[in-house]
Structure 1
Amino acid sequence: MNQKEYIQDLINHGRWTFTTSEIAERMDKDYYGKIYHLRQTGRVINPALGFYVIVPEEYMGTDRLPVERYIHAMMDHLSLGYYVGLLTAAFFYGSSHQSPQKFQVLVSKKRRNITVNRNQIIFYQKKMANNIPTIQRKTSTGYFNISTPEATLFDLVEFNRQIGGLEQVGLIAIELSEQLNAKTLVETAQFYPNPIVQRAGYLLERIEYENLASNLEEYIQHLKPASSFLNPSGNRERTNKHPRWKLFINQEMEFDL
């Protein structure tokens, strides 16, 4: 069996990825040479050590094979729990504020970012990542784990500095709002620190989604949280306090509603 026959056999069985050990079992001793040839001709890419992805003919030469085609298989190969989140999750839920070339993934352990041709896989470490509510989203090659719309909102608030700030999060929240469920939002809030929930509630109030904000208000008042700052990186003056969310409003934001 040569390398082309091996690739076609995988495709015939519905598989689009393979590992070094798998091809070694089917090839002679020169399997590294065969992998090299496949890479040079653009038939496979190598996003992780010992892990290869078959490039469909329609994507050959584009350098933009969608990461969602192989992210689950790759993370399984790495034995690392994950979910697709932040701006990438928002993109799949209909937001227009994310470039498809930057694919954001949350993991419980630190992981170096990966550049695959014109795509970037950016990893964000989140200690409790394995506990965050997710769903499985189908793709043409299987599925991948993605944060629920509600978890996506809280993550955007938590990592707002890395994705453009709270005002950017507010704009994305407007686009996500139709996907958010008030009851699920409260259930998801328990997985996040109080200041994150307080900031999310304030943003929902500012973009005038009162039904969502009021449910979070009831949840947060029950917890009796300490006062916090809207922008933890902003000035630390304890003025302009918002009593509803127990937040010191130390950042101005404008939304075109």
Structure 2
Amino acid sequence: MPELPIVTLSVTIGNMNTSFEDERVRAPELADWLLSRGLVAVTTAQAAQLLGVPPDQVRRRLHAPARRGEWVMPAHGLWMAVHPEYRTWGAPPGIEIVDTVMRHLHTDYYVGWLSAAEIHGAAHQAPQVFQVATSRHIRAKQVGRTRFTFMTRESVGAVPVIERPTRSGHARVSTREATILDVAADIDIAGGVTNAATVIAELADDDGIDVGTLADLAHNYPAAAGRRAGWVLDRFGPELELEPLRDVVQSKATAPSLLDAAGPTTSELDRDWRLRVNRDVEVDV
């Protein structure tokens, strides 16, 4: 992953090359000074340089501005300047800061599950947490009003994403097809079978997905993910040609999957999707 250009000794802003080597800024003015230059974050070492103090004095110098909501420290050694409209929140929304934090931590990531569904306009209810897939373990954290939860996933970088524009750049968000399969694979993370089914159906609405892309991606997911997704789309989604996805799930030489992994293991078998339908589902779309 490329390094995040937060603040370095020489930072390019648009077509201007701005040097900070000789800059000195008073602590009460530093947040607005950065924001006025299109910058959102500094490391502790960079803040120390701008303030003209040793690094171990940065926390004390920024304590009062932070209490006024001008700064938030979402990760060790990273200071983010808060835009005025978010200062009563304690921090910008999660989508605005996740990329900066992950780059600071040198961690590959994408916004996924219900948080991605909401960004795609498909969350029936606003998720209570901001769900992020990461390439290594990171503890959950509260940043302002946002409760971040991080789920370690293999091959995070291989999951297709869109780049959602933010004020400071962009955030990596799983595509609709990847979000469908993540939600189908992790029913518990998605709030249960009914909520997961509702989200999947909404993601596919209005020609929102490409079934061929979904089928290709299903090769990289557990069999249960493709089977649940196909079953939901077949019953509750828009009229789609699901044969490519059906071929993929039929080709997986595993025992039938459960619609609800926590439900009964004996129930009606849907042979088309090799899925035991062990829960009643009422989709609200």
TM-score, normalized by length of structure 2? 0.83
Worse-matched range after superposition: 8-17 or 163-172: 8-17
Go from structure 1 to structure 2 and tell me whether the alpha carbon gap of 1:255 and 1:38 turns closer, same or farther (over 3 Å shift): same
**Whole-angstrom CA distance in 2 between matches of 1:233 and 1:107:** 25
Gaps of 5+ in 2: 1-24
Deviations 1:189-210 (A, max 9, x none): 1221112111111111120434
In the alignment, what sits opposite 1:88?
115
How high is the sequence identity, in percent, across the aligned residues? 29
Q: Secondary structure at the match of 1:162?
A: coil
User: Does the alignment pair 1:68 with 2:95?
Assistant: yes
Please, which of 100, 106, 111 is the counterpart of residue 133 of structure 2?
A: 106
Distance 1:224 1:95 in 2: 32
The match for 2:86 is 59
* 2:39 partner SS: coil
Amino acid at match of 1:189: A
1:199 is the counterpart of 2:228: yes
Distance in 2 separating the partners of 1:156 and 1:65? 26
Q: Are 1:254 and 2:278 counterparts? A: no
- Contact kept? 2:111, 2:132, Cα under 8 Å: yes
1:13 and 2:43 are equivalent in the alignment: no
Q: Does structure 2 retain, via aligned residues, the 8 Å contact 1:108–1:129?
A: yes
- Decide which structure has greater helix share: 1
Taking the TM superposition and a 5 Å limit, the aligned residue runs for 1:17-166 are 17-27=41-51, 28-29=53-54, 30-63=57-90, 65-99=92-126, 102-166=129-193
Q: Which runs of 5+ in 1 are unaligned?
A: none
Root-mean-square deviation (Å): 2.0
After superposition, give the CA deviation of every residue in 1:45-99 in whole Å (9 maximum; x if it has no partner).
1111111211111222233621222110110111111100111111111124343
- Give secondary structure in 1 for the equivalent of 2:227: helix
Question: Which shows bigger deviation, 203-212 or 89-98?
Answer: 203-212
Distance 1:45-1:256 versus aligned 2 partners, 3 A rule: closer
**Structure 2 equivalent of residue 241 of structure 1:** 269
Shift of 1:100: 6.1
Contact 1:17/1:70 (CA < 8 Å) preserved in 2? no
For residues 145 and 2 of structure 1, the distance between their equivalents in structure 2, rounded to whole angstroms, comes to 34
- 1:139 maps to a residue whose letter is T
Q: Specify whether residues 54 and 214 from structure 1 end up closer, same or farther in structure 2 by C-alpha distance, changes over 3 A only.
A: same
Q: Counterparts of 1:74 and 1:49 in 2: how far apart (Å)?
A: 10
Q: Indicate the larger mover: 156-165 or 21-30.
A: 21-30
Provide TM-score, normalisation by structure 1. 0.91
Name the residue aligned to 2:212: 183
Amino acid at match of 2:261: P
